[in-house]
Amino acid sequence: MDGTGPPELRAPSRSFSTMASAVEHSAEAQRRLIADTAHQLRNPLAALQLRLDTLEPLIPPRGRTGYGRTLSESLRLQHLLRDLLALSSAEVPRDSSPGAERRCPPSLVAADRVDFWSDMAGRAGVGLVGPDVDTRSWAAISGEDLQQPMDVLLGNFCRYAGPGATATVRVRHHDGPLPHRPGVTVEVADDGPGVPAEDLARLTDRFFRSTSRSAGHAVPSSGTGLGLAIVDALVTANGGRLSLAGTPGGGLTARIVLPRAPEDVAEPSTGPTAHHGWIS
């Protein structure tokens, strides 16, 4: 507040402002600590990986099993550090000034990522159906910030849905439900085994790893448990929200709801160069 108003409200107002500032600084210090720690650990882990690679020809047959497990743990730590850095970056508030380049045609970005993941989907025995491309409406998010959530959602589907499953990506434009602004919804809906109902509310918790059910048995996640937390943080930082629910009939549906960008944006060409340029 500016110090005006009834005297009896000025002191509580100052106290509240001080508390809010302290909380904000504490959260920022925590984020920077995570980022700095992850950066500092990257070089020692890279050196460890190099030494493990050098040692491989010298490992006797009886030590191969232990060596393989050590190598797997080293790679898992590297993936964990990568995701911690990505989460730290995702939580940084986005620049909302008029000149900030925070807009993209979401159907174009989604179609590009479906194309990118199609090879892995084929190897996994699953199907991907991309959205209809419509560059007339834009979302208030950069192409890079939308690309990463799409990669997490499509990557999880390819890894855990199981052979025979299909994921359909849709992009819809609507007048809500984001307050006072028209919105864009990017939806990834699959008909795979899904996740247990009791896990749905925890899927965006950090380090939480659910189990999917494929071929009649539980399949634990092999990731770091940070992928959907990164998606949630990125979407929230851009003024949107992520929701996860079961697909009617079985499967998982993820919806990313974003504010729509202003309409006075030049429409890109739909050639290959523009197709990839918006998400580089």
Domain boundary assignment for the chain: 7-90, 106-277
pLDDT for the residue numbered 215: 45
Q: Do 7-90 and 106-277 agree at the fold level? A: no
Chain-centroid distance of CA 71 in Å reads 27
pLDDT for the residue numbered 217: 43
Instruction: Tell me phi and psi for residue 220, to 5 degrees.
Output: -70, 150
Minimum mean pLDDT among 23-32, 98-107, 194-203, 223-232: which range? 23-32
pLDDT for the residue numbered 256: 96
Instruction: Tell me phi and psi for residue 228, to 5 degrees.
Output: -75, -25
DSSP 3-state of 261: coil
DSSP 3-state of 264: coil
Angle at 210 (CA atoms; ends 127, 152), nearest 5 degrees: 45
What are the tens digits of pLDDT across the range 246-255?
Answer: 999 889 999 9
pLDDT for the residue numbered 27: 61
**50 or 118, greater pLDDT:** 118
Mean pLDDT of 264-276: 43
pLDDT for the residue numbered 216: 46
Q: Are 124 and 158 in contact (CB under 8 A)?
A: yes
As given in the structure block, the two tokens for residue 65 are 């099993």
pLDDT for the residue numbered 190: 96
Q: Are 172 and 135 in contact (CB under 8 A)?
A: no
pLDDT for the residue numbered 231: 92
Closest among 236, 154, 244 to 200, alpha carbons compared:
244
User: Is pTM beyond 0.85 here?
Assistant: no
pLDDT for the residue numbered 107: 94
Q: Are 143 and 104 in contact (CB under 8 A)?
A: yes
Amino acid at the residue 255: R
What are the tens digits of pLDDT across the range 194-217?
Answer: 888 888 888 988 888 776 555 444
What CATH number is given for 7-90 in this structure?
Answer: 1.10.287.130
The listed CATH number (3.40.50.10420, 3.50.50.60, 3.30.565.10, 3.40.50.1860) that belongs to domain 106-277: 3.30.565.10
Mean pLDDT of 71-81: 82
pLDDT for the residue numbered 105: 93
Tell me the pLDDT band of 271, cut-offs 50, 70 and 90: very low
Mean pLDDT for all residues in the chain: 79
The dihedral over CA atoms of 111, 116, 122, 126, expressed in degrees to the nearest 10, equals -50
What are the tens digits of pLDDT across the range 97-118?
Answer: 444 568 899 999 999 999 999 9
Classify strands 217-220 and 211-214 as parallel, antiparallel or unpaired.
antiparallel
Whether 122 has a pLDDT exceeding 90, the answer reads yes
Spatial separation of the C-alpha atoms in residues 154 and 98, rounded to whole Å: 32
Mean pLDDT of 130-146: 89
For residue 5, the 8-state DSSP code is S
Angle at 84 (CA atoms; ends 83, 87), nearest 5 degrees: 85
As given in the structure block, the two tokens for residue 115 are 């194309």
Beta bridge partners of 167: 128, 190
